[in-house]
Structure 1
């Protein structure tokens, strides 16, 4: 009797990267926003190139949320659109924290 671990289903879709998961996308984006705040020293923003990593992670999280859209409109589809708008706002804040310290001309 050989044990085949691939036959056991994963208990949650969050841990299965092939499955769609709103939780995984949303937590990834919000965690990236928090990391960008910490890396930039938010109240006194200073140039920090490592904010590029949370930016790319947030882009990946937005893609994960985008995968959950359905073709036909429903309240679920509307909720996913609201989460995508939240992702876009978080991405705008992350890129602001990334680029603003370099804009000395403002």
Structure 2
């Protein structure tokens, strides 16, 4: 049986090492995410100006992208916007949007 050359062996070791590092990073992030959302302090939170719609959907176990259309917002790819940014774009006070979002969450949970 032929032995692989030292160069091929080195490349294979590097590929395996990179795969192990990538798997470790993904595993650690998955565990962190699971622990974060398992904490009761992050479930069913009261909406605040810094939160995004996605954060509130996860916190209240609502379907993804359910709050945006209910608020009349078209999906926008990219960086999620906070409720404060959404209120500013809509030209309304943050308190009014927080009240509206709170009502929507309650309605969707029924």
TM-score (norm 2): 0.26
Indicate the structure (1 or 2) with the bigger Cα radius of gyration.
Answer: 2
TM-score (norm 1): 0.27
